Structure 1
Amino acid sequence: MSINLESNVAIEPKITHTPEVDESLKPKTEEGRTVSVLSYAFMWIGDGVNLGNMTLGASLVVAGVATLNIFQTFAAAIIAIGIISTFFALNDRLGYRTGIPYVMQLRMSFGLKGSVISSLLRGIPAIIWYGFQSWIGATALNEIAKIVTDGAFNSVGICFVLIQLVQIGLSLYGFHAIKWVEMLASIVIMLALIYVFGVLLASHREIITEKWVQAEGSWGMPFFAFIMVFLGNYAAIFLSAADYSRELKSGISDTKRGLLYFFPILIAYGLTLTIGAMLASATGITNPVKAFAAVVDNSYITLFVSAFIVIGAVAVNMVANIIPPTYVITLLTKLKYKPAVTITGVLALCSFPWVLVQDSSAKGLGTFVLIYSAFLGPIVSILLVEYYILRNQKVNIEELYNEDGVFAGYNPAAIIAMLLGAAAALLKVELAWIIGVFVSGIAYYLLTKYAFKDSRFKKFTIFER
Structure 2
Amino acid sequence: MSLNIEDQSDVNIERTPGVNESLYPKKTKDRTMGPIPYMFMWVGDGVNLGNMTLGGSMIIAGVATLNIFQTFAAAIIAIGIISVVFALNDRLGYKTGIPYVIQLRMSFGEKGSIISSLLRGVPAIVWYGFQSWVGATALNEILKVFTGGSFDSIPICFVVLQAVQIVLSMYGFHAIKWVETLISTVLMAAFVYVFILLITNYSGVIADKWIHTGGTWGIEFWAFIMVLMGNYAAIFLSAADYSRELKPGYNDAKRGFFYFSPIILAYGTVICIGAMLASATGNSNPVKALAIVFNNDAITVFVSFFIVMGAIAVNMVANIVAPTYIIQLLTKISYKPAVVITGLLGLCSFPWVLVQDSSSKGLATFVLIYSAFLGPIVAILLVEYYLLRKQKVNVADLYKADGPFSGYNPAAITAMLIGAAAAFMFVDLAWIIGLVVGGISYYVLTKYAFKNSPFKKGTIFEK
Which of the five TM-score ranges fits, normalised by the shorter chain? Answer: over 0.9
Contact 2:277–2:286, Cα closer than 8 Å, also in 1: yes
Partner of 1:187: 185
Contact 2:277–2:283, Cα closer than 8 Å, also in 1: yes
Task: Report the Cα distance in structure 2 between the residues aligned to 1:366 and 1:78, rounded to whole angstroms.
Answer: 18
Match of 1:122 among 120, 123, 134: 120
Task: Report the Cα distance in structure 2 between the residues aligned to 1:430 and 1:21, rounded to whole angstroms.
Answer: 39
Partner of 2:308: 310
Report the CA distance shift for 1:283/1:134 in structure 2 as closer, same or farther (over 3 A): closer
Contact 1:355–1:361, Cα closer than 8 Å, also in 2: no
Q: Secondary structure at the match of 1:403?
A: coil
**Structure 1 unaligned regions, length at least 5:** none
Q: Secondary structure at the match of 2:110?
A: helix
Could you say what the CA RMSD is over the residues aligned between the two structures, in angstroms?
2.3
Partner of 2:168: 170
Contact 1:10–1:250, Cα closer than 8 Å, also in 2: no
Counting only pairs closer than 5 Å after superposition, residues 294-443 of structure 1 correspond to structure 2 as 294-353=292-351, 369-443=367-441
Task: Report the Cα distance in structure 1 between the residues aligned to 2:326 and 2:110, rounded to whole angstroms.
Answer: 12
Contact 1:135–1:354, Cα closer than 8 Å, also in 2: yes
Q: What TM-score do you get using the length of structure 1 for normalisation?
A: 0.93
Task: Report the Cα distance in structure 1 between the residues aligned to 2:427 and 2:256, rounded to whole angstroms.
Answer: 28
Partner of 1:97: 95
Partner of 2:130: 132
Query: For residue 116 of structure 1, what is the amino acid of its counterpart?
Result: I
Which moves more between the two structures, 37-46 or 350-359? 350-359
Report the CA distance shift for 1:83/1:64 in structure 2 as closer, same or farther (over 3 A): same
Task: Report the Cα distance in structure 1 between the residues aligned to 2:79 and 2:363, rounded to whole angstroms.
Answer: 25
Deviations 1:215-264 (A, max 9, x none): 32222112111111111111111110100110111111110100111010
Which moves more between the two structures, 136-145 or 283-292? 283-292
Quick check: 1:228 aligned with 2:222? no
Partner of 2:446: 448
Q: Secondary structure at the match of 1:249?
A: coil
Q: Secondary structure at the match of 1:394?
A: coil
Q: What TM-score do you get using the length of structure 2 for normalisation?
A: 0.94
Report the CA distance shift for 1:204/1:131 in structure 2 as closer, same or farther (over 3 A): closer
CA apart distance, 1:57? 2.0
Contact 2:355–2:361, Cα closer than 8 Å, also in 1: no
Report the CA distance shift for 1:281/1:348 in structure 2 as closer, same or farther (over 3 A): closer
**Structure 2 unaligned regions, length at least 5:** none
Contact 2:423–2:433, Cα closer than 8 Å, also in 1: yes
Contact 2:50–2:131, Cα closer than 8 Å, also in 1: no
Partner of 1:49: 47
Query: For residue 5 of structure 1, what is the amino acid of its counterpart?
Result: N
Partner of 1:272: 270
Query: For residue 40 of structure 2, what is the amino acid of its counterpart?
Result: F
Contact 1:10–1:29, Cα closer than 8 Å, also in 2: no
CA apart distance, 1:358? 7.0
CA apart distance, 1:406? 0.3
Which moves more between the two structures, 81-90 or 59-68? 59-68
Counting only pairs closer than 5 Å after superposition, residues 65-80 of structure 1 correspond to structure 2 as 65-80=63-78
Query: For residue 378 of structure 2, what is the amino acid of its counterpart?
Result: V
Report the CA distance shift for 1:17/1:207 in structure 2 as closer, same or farther (over 3 A): closer
Query: For residue 99 of structure 1, what is the amino acid of its counterpart?
Result: G
Contact 1:10–1:99, Cα closer than 8 Å, also in 2: no
Counting only pairs closer than 5 Å after superposition, residues 233-252 of structure 1 correspond to structure 2 as 233-252=231-250
